[in-house]
Chains A and B, each alone.
Chain A
């Protein structure tokens, strides 16, 4: 079995190696036709067009050469245009690291990719995704025997460098962060990985693959492989089995397949489970002709659904089941955290200090999201263009794009997922997600959900706190006999699973008796309990 596990690990690593190495092997050939289409959509400056025509068209260039040439020419061209007497701002390309590569360079590089990968997309898919998936399944499958009989087997977690912030953890962190940086800001370097799923994308929606399709496909594959790991690890625990299956289903069906199929039928790409304010750009572009509202009946339905989801479905469901119904049963971010992130859950900090930071940050983001959306609605109803300055030289577009950059990309992606191996698997959900903050209020103040503490059975061992991904000091409540009603609990159920004394149970019941502050615990003399607890 150990051999099978090792073969699996090596196979998966080979897949990852090929995937990663392909980034450095891209070649491009910009034909005249591709060049013309691209310039007609993206460039106004003749200076740029002339210069680029000479330097890149018809040449065999590596992706790196091509990208850096375009940026260099763009800078030159901007300098030239700014030197003119009457500056034509339309002709300025405005080079910015977090925008130019993805919006300006990427389309050309994507269209002009040549080389082995673009000609052998099927085989390349097998060598990357195929090997990684097969290897992963083998490696985790072997655990069925290796971990021993079903039960909590967290053996060695704090002794292994991958799961205890050791060098393997650091490497994983750097790898994740680098991947997210490329994905969000430099997709022009991910062309070969993107091509690996090109045929699948064409099969689904009819369009070639983009970086977002790659991301969606990776997301689903990673979740599937790690869900298998969960199924084996928690095969004695039905709550975990059901929850993991459901969250995987929602990711694959609602976040991946359905949107692609909608596109195939010429309908807008829409994720029915993504609720504002997590879906922060839901109200952007309201007035534009590509907005949901201007896409006929279906678009209108989606728009109304989105609003009902946030205003009615979310709070009502949180009332009945706690925010877990979303965070660890439906949500994609939560889904990744509960699968890929599960090996890292013990790394979240339980200190009071982190709790303070958490409350400032997550409520800050909720405030930011709300203000930004209010502004978005304001300019829509007041019919102000989003690029018009509102005050202090700031436009609505600036506010929206800085939210997108700071929160949407850096916080939720680069830090939120990239730092799993350092800060634990729910960095984003715990410190950043505005939807989680919103549901947290409902859960704390008006909900039937609680984690019941079983009388006086707690032995303060600390397993529950250690494995709480949300950094809740569960033991602090359990050892006092108090139920846990914290707004941040996502109801993953792992505290209950790892408790060796059967102290914790997630349940939905009447609001009466949900919060039960105690001084003296059950087991004591009745008089003393009443004396101390009820005065």
Chain B
């Protein structure tokens, strides 16, 4: 029986294993150094915040693996011997495979800052980081202040985590406004306000110079490069992005760039080796997507796709329309299609913000054809299938606005802002768009009809 070995028990590796099991009775082994069972990295913050226990982050009960005869092995892979089709573990043990799937995810970036390896300095990626944070920042007596370096999604989550235990947080962001490499100015400003509202000391446009240590090798303060200011702290969170966790592969015959290089079938340059998830790097980007996509659902989709290929139905990885979501403190964010930080030449924008400054939508559309390109929504939930259909059928912004009631996904009894939004659009664009009543028929139909 063919033995499929998967390195990494994250969402991509586990999804691949589950789908291979559905399609075949191949022998499957998942190897991971981090934890015995699969857990949701995305929920690490909620464990520290006390919303959940670690066990709640595990989507499958422990009997699941045995029942589906997926073998689990806790070990660290040190090298891959592609000639002999075997792995070598840190313990020295060998492990053979017939087909190998590399799904080793990411690791936090460190840019060689002085002091980056001191006690109390940590990323927020692995379970061990969570344990570390619990150790160095159990409460605001042990940790009098924490400094977070890097204003991305994990950075703001880490700020929220520490804030939940009333630990004062200083948040160093290199950009001039939070995440403005991705978010347009208005949304970025909205989030700046949300961060400040939560009494987080947000410092925009600054970099870390160094982390200083006390006599025991613990972090004791940081220095800001631009101002030379020293900020005393007990914990430093390094959240300046992530990069593929593939150091152990660099010396093997497998081709790597920033990540493990793969083609559309998620195959590496070695015949029986594949890579999926955060660690995979497409030779050529797919559409407007990046070559490396470190998000949850793309890892899952790569796992679903690769399972087909491995089980005899060669399938290209073709992610559909881009979408994503996040939460910034209390503000939920969803995006469908593309809304770049700065409009491209052919693009026009429509922005609406509620009077409470906690809700906003930003639509990107083509100036000339009026085709809908993408939407950012803050504090208002929207239906994924709606926008997926709109994008597939290349509908116009007028269509989207007319059918905004179909798109709304907020819980029942929520205040509906659609009329207000459309009124604003009509005024700005001299149009006469009228909101249509929500229609179940349209919501459920597979195709779109105007």
Q: Which residues of A contact B (CB under 8 A)?
A: 148-152, 154-160, 236-239, 241-242, 346, 351-352, 452, 454-457, 459-463, 465-466, 475-476, 479, 493, 496-498, 500-502, 505-507, 509-510, 512-513, 519-528, 532
Residues on the A chain within 8 Å of B383, using CB: 454-455
Given the contacts A160-B50, A466-B52, A528 and B308 also touching, CB distance less than 8 Å: yes
Question: Which of B19, B53, B63 is packed against the most chain A CB atoms within 10 Å?
Answer: B53
Q: Is the pair A497, B411 in contact by a Cβ cutoff of 8 Å?
A: yes
**15 A-B pairs in the complex with CB atoms less than 8 angstroms apart:** A152-B330, A156-B164, A238-B412, A346-B52, A454-B381, A461-B57, A462-B56, A466-B51, A500-B327, A501-B332, A502-B325, A513-B444, A525-B305, A526-B320, A526-B392
Question: In this complex, what residue of B is CB-closest to A476?
Answer: B59
Residues on the A chain within 8 Å of B411, using CB: 237-239, 493, 496-497, 505-506
Q: Residue-by-residue, is B370-407 near A (CB-CB < 8 Å gives 1, otherwise 0)?
A: 00000000000111110010001000000000000000
Q: Is the pair A457, B334 in contact by a Cβ cutoff of 8 Å?
A: yes
Residues on the A chain within 8 Å of B300, using CB: 456, 521
- Beyond A459-B43, A498-B51, A509-B444, 12 additional contacts (C-beta under 8 Å) are A151-B329, A155-B49, A238-B413, A346-B52, A455-B385, A501-B327, A505-B409, A509-B440, A521-B301, A523-B301, A523-B323, A525-B320
Residues on the A chain within 8 Å of B59, using CB: 460, 462, 475-476, 479
Bound Cα distance from A148 to B305, whole angstroms: 43
Bound Cα distance from A459 to B329, whole angstroms: 17
Q: Is the pair B40, A462 in contact by a Cβ cutoff of 8 Å?
A: yes
Is B22 part of the binding interface, using a Cβ–Cβ cutoff of 8 Å? yes
Residues on the A chain within 8 Å of B114, using CB: none
CB distance from A181 to the nearest CB of B (A): 31
Question: In this complex, what residue of B is CB-closest to A462?
Answer: B56
Top 7 nearest A-B pairs (CB, nearest first) are A455-B384, A151-B330, A525-B318, A502-B381, A461-B43, A238-B413, A156-B50
Given the contacts A149-B197, A151-B329, A501-B332, A455 and B42 also touching, CB distance less than 8 Å: no
Given the contacts A239-B411, A522-B388, A463 and B46 also touching, CB distance less than 8 Å: yes
Residues on the B chain within 8 Å of A160, using CB: 50
Is B176 part of the binding interface, using a Cβ–Cβ cutoff of 8 Å? no
CB distance from A144 to the nearest CB of B (A): 15
Question: Which B residues between 16 and 68 are near A, CB-CB below 8 angstroms?
Answer: 19, 22, 40, 42-43, 46, 49-53, 56-59, 61, 63
Q: Is the pair B51, A155 in contact by a Cβ cutoff of 8 Å?
A: yes
Residues on the A chain within 8 Å of B281, using CB: none
Q: Is the pair A454, B384 in contact by a Cβ cutoff of 8 Å?
A: yes
Residues on the A chain within 8 Å of B437, using CB: none
Residues on the B chain within 8 Å of A455, using CB: 323, 383-385, 388
Is B304 part of the binding interface, using a Cβ–Cβ cutoff of 8 Å? yes
Q: Residue-by-residue, is B309-323 near A (CB-CB < 8 Å gives 1, otherwise 0)?
A: 000000111111101
Bound Cα distance from A150 to B320, whole angstroms: 35
Bound Cα distance from A153 to B292, whole angstroms: 34
Q: Is the pair B332, A502 in contact by a Cβ cutoff of 8 Å?
A: yes
Bound Cα distance from A154 to B329, whole angstroms: 13
Q: Is the pair B412, A155 in contact by a Cβ cutoff of 8 Å?
A: no
Question: In this complex, what residue of B is CB-closest to A460?
Answer: B40
Residues on the B chain within 8 Å of A466, using CB: 51-52, 56
CB distance from B211 to the nearest CB of A (A): 28
Q: Is the pair B296, A154 in contact by a Cβ cutoff of 8 Å?
A: no
Question: Which of B52, B165, B315 is packed against the most chain A CB atoms within 10 Å?
Answer: B52
Question: Which of A236, A465, A479 is packed against the most chain B CB atoms within 10 Å?
Answer: A479
Residues on the A chain within 8 Å of B315, using CB: 528
Given the contacts A523-B297, A523-B319, A528-B304, A456 and B384 also touching, CB distance less than 8 Å: yes
Question: In this complex, what residue of B is CB-closest to A155?
Answer: B164
CB distance from B191 to the nearest CB of A (A): 14
Given the contacts A456-B297, A523-B301, A500 and B332 also touching, CB distance less than 8 Å: yes
Is B414 part of the binding interface, using a Cβ–Cβ cutoff of 8 Å? yes
Q: Residue-by-residue, is B244-255 near A (CB-CB < 8 Å gives 1, otherwise 0)?
A: 000000000000
CB distance from A513 to the nearest CB of B (A): 5
Residues on the A chain within 8 Å of B297, using CB: 456-457, 459, 521, 523
Residues on the B chain within 8 Å of A506, using CB: 411-412
Is B415 part of the binding interface, using a Cβ–Cβ cutoff of 8 Å? yes
Question: Which of B22, B165, B444 is packed against the most chain A CB atoms within 10 Å?
Answer: B444
Bound Cα distance from A443 to B400, whole angstroms: 33
Question: Which B residues between 405 and 427 are near A, CB-CB below 8 angstroms?
Answer: 409-415
Residues on the B chain within 8 Å of A351, using CB: 61
Is B11 part of the binding interface, using a Cβ–Cβ cutoff of 8 Å? yes
Q: Is the pair B415, A150 in contact by a Cβ cutoff of 8 Å?
A: no
Question: In this complex, what residue of A is CB-closest to B308?
Answer: A528
Residues on the B chain within 8 Å of A459, using CB: 40, 42-43, 296-297, 325
Is B369 part of the binding interface, using a Cβ–Cβ cutoff of 8 Å? no
CB distance from B115 to the nearest CB of A (A): 30
Given the contacts A154-B50, A459-B296, A524 and B301 also touching, CB distance less than 8 Å: yes
Is B198 part of the binding interface, using a Cβ–Cβ cutoff of 8 Å? yes
Residues on the A chain within 8 Å of B305, using CB: 524-525, 528
Bound Cα distance from A489 to B409, whole angstroms: 20
Bound Cα distance from A178 to B22, whole angstroms: 51
CB distance from B415 to the nearest CB of A (A): 7
Bound Cα distance from A388 to B210, whole angstroms: 89
Residues on the A chain within 8 Å of B381, using CB: 454, 502, 505
Question: In this complex, what residue of A is CB-closest to B47?
Answer: A158
CB distance from A426 to the nearest CB of B (A): 18
Residues on the B chain within 8 Å of A236, using CB: 330
CB distance from B357 to the nearest CB of A (A): 11
Question: Which B residues between 53 and 87 are near A, CB-CB below 8 angstroms?
Answer: 53, 56-59, 61, 63
Residues on the B chain within 8 Å of A148, using CB: 198
CB distance from B360 to the nearest CB of A (A): 14
Residues on the B chain within 8 Å of A519, using CB: 19, 22
Question: In this complex, what residue of B is CB-closest to A240?
Answer: B411
Q: Is the pair B412, A457 in contact by a Cβ cutoff of 8 Å?
A: no
CB distance from B268 to the nearest CB of A (A): 21
Q: Is the pair B43, A463 in contact by a Cβ cutoff of 8 Å?
A: yes
Q: Is the pair B50, A150 in contact by a Cβ cutoff of 8 Å?
A: no
Bound Cα distance from A207 to B114, whole angstroms: 80
Residues on the A chain within 8 Å of B51, using CB: 154-155, 157-158, 463, 466, 498
CB distance from A320 to the nearest CB of B (A): 13
Question: Which of B325, B385, B440 is packed against the most chain A CB atoms within 10 Å?
Answer: B325
Residues on the B chain within 8 Å of A532, using CB: 304, 308
Q: Is the pair A242, B413 in contact by a Cβ cutoff of 8 Å?
A: yes
A157 contact from B43, B50, B198, B385, Cβ within 8 A: B50
CB distance from A328 to the nearest CB of B (A): 13
Bound Cα distance from A491 to B318, whole angstroms: 36
Question: In this complex, what residue of A is CB-closest to B388?
Answer: A522
Question: In this complex, what residue of B is CB-closest to A156?
Answer: B50
Bound Cα distance from A466 to B382, whole angstroms: 24
Residues on the B chain within 8 Å of A465, using CB: 56
Given the contacts A158-B52, A456-B384, A466-B56, A461 and B319 also touching, CB distance less than 8 Å: no
Given the contacts A459-B296, A513-B444, A523-B320, A159 and B50 also touching, CB distance less than 8 Å: yes
Bound Cα distance from A464 to B245, whole angstroms: 30
Question: In this complex, what residue of B is CB-closest to A525?
Answer: B318
Residues on the A chain within 8 Å of B444, using CB: 509-510, 512-513
